[in-house]
């Protein structure tokens, strides 16, 4: 594959994703507002601006925090005007489906194919190239993107038309927030009643309460090595970003008049956690501290 890639947004997720493309031998022009992050992608070609990263590339990838940044990049900063006709743009950020559809329509007007391709799998998935891509957009554009998804990830799903990738991702993250809060609550109840959180986790993992949080992302400090709970909840997926995704779920539910009482409760739990415990920059498994504030998350 000899494509030239432009990659904008080199944070916890975008940095390692871009690095994997470089490691696969691709020419990758990189840009982030934080200059140091460009140097961290060794072998990437640092650019002075996002527009430079969109110049003379075959594929342009963005990995930004929220919809306002994505609309700003593509529509206001003029990336769509700068991309060559026939280029493929892939936004991997998790944003509202409405903005994804708006940007995709503007891209189509400029002769640029566009996919929304939010990811699941966390920072470990980004580093190891095992992400799941949840894609919205045309099937032929997905076919073009597939070799790149195969470098950065392990699974690719076509959710439907433009914006459908975002809708599916929002549903998944609402469920994840509910599962994480429920897992933290059950562990707290057990510990309050004299159980060892590791023993209880082993029991629930093999029982009907088993779930992803228990299997690979235990929120209780000292139960599992290598997870944010074992390093003071540093790194991982920020509470701020989970709260953002739950806000997207609420807006999506409002648009379809769907009832999401558990998602609404999870959103409020995360907001209380963020506002009363200053947890915005901690990993989202720190919701355990809402039940046990004394847990700092160190082994």
Virtual torsion, Cα 250, 208, 202, 245, nearest 10 deg:
-10
**Count of residues interacting with ligand NAD (CB under 6 A):** 26
| Beta-bridge mates of residue 116 | 91, 136
Q: Give the shortest CB-110-to-ligand NAD separation in angstroms.
A: 19
Contacts with 94 (C-beta within 8 Å, 6 or more apart), sequence order: 118, 166, 169, 170, 173, 241, 244, 245, 248
Considering only 6-14, 39-47, 134-142, 289-297, which stretch makes contact with ligand NAD by CB under 6 A?
A: 6-14
Q: Give the shortest CB-249-to-ligand NAD separation in angstroms.
A: 12
14 touches ligand NAD by CB under 6 A: yes
Catalytic residue among 169, 198, 205, 292: 169
Interface positions, 254-283, toward ligand NAD (CB under 6 A): none
288 touches ligand NAD by CB under 6 A: no
64 touches ligand NAD by CB under 6 A: yes
Query: Could you tell me which of 191, 202, 194, 187 has the C-alpha nearest to residue 285?
Result: 187
Q: Give the shortest CB-36-to-ligand NAD separation in angstroms.
A: 10
13 touches ligand NAD by CB under 6 A: yes
Interface positions, 35-54, toward ligand NAD (CB under 6 A): 37, 50
* DSSP β-ladder status, 45-46 and 27-31: parallel
Q: Give the shortest CB-195-to-ligand NAD separation in angstroms.
A: 29
| Beta-bridge mates of residue 113 | 88
Query: Could you tell me which of 206, 208, 219, 210 has the C-alpha nearest to residue 180?
Result: 219
128 touches ligand NAD by CB under 6 A: no
Three-state secondary structure call for residue 154: strand
Asked whether 115 and 140 are in contact (CB, 8 A), the reply is no
Asked whether 237 and 122 are in contact (CB, 8 A), the reply is yes
Residue 169 falls in the annotated catalytic set: yes
Active site amino acids:
169
Residues that bind ligand NAD (CB under 6 A): 8-14, 31-34, 37, 50, 63-65, 69, 72-73, 93-94, 119, 122-123, 237, 241
């Amino acid at each position: 594959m000899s494509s030239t890639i432009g990659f904008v947004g080199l944070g916890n997720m975008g940095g390692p994703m871009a690095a994997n493309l470089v490691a696969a031998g691709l020419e990758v022009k990189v840009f982030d507002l934080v200059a140091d992050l460009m140097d961290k992608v060794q072998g990437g070609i640092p650019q002075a601006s996002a527009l430079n990263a969109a110049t003379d590339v075959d594929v342009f990838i963005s990995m930004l925090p929220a919809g306002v940044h994505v609309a700003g990049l593509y529509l206001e900063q003029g990336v769509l005007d700068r991309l060559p006709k026939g280029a493929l743009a892939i936004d991997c950020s998790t944003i509202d489906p409405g903005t994804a559809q708006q940007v995709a329509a503007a891209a189509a007007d400029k002769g640029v194919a566009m996919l929304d391709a939010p990811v699941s799998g966390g920072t470990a998935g980004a580093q190891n190239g095992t992400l799941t891509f949840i894609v919205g957009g045309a099937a032929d554009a997905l076919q073009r993107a597939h070799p790149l998804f195969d470098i950065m990830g392990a699974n690719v799903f076509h959710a439907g038309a433009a914006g459908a990738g975002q809708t599916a991702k929002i549903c998944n993250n609402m469920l994840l927030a509910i599962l994480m809060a429920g897992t933290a609550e059950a562990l707290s109840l057990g510990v309050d009643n004299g159980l060892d959180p590791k023993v209880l986790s082993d029991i629930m993992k093999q029982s009907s309460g088993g779930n992803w949080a228990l299997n690979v992302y235990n929120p209780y400090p000292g139960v599992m090595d290598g997870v944010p709970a074992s390093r003071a909840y540093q790194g991982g997926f920020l509470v701020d970003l989970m709260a953002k995704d739950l806000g997207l779920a609420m807006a999506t539910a409002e648009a379809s008049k769907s009832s999401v009482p558990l998602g609404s409760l999870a959103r409020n739990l995360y907001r209380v956690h963020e506002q009363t415990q200053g947890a915005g920059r901690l990993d989202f498994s720190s919701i355990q501290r809402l039940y046990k504030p004394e847990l700092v998350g160190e082994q």
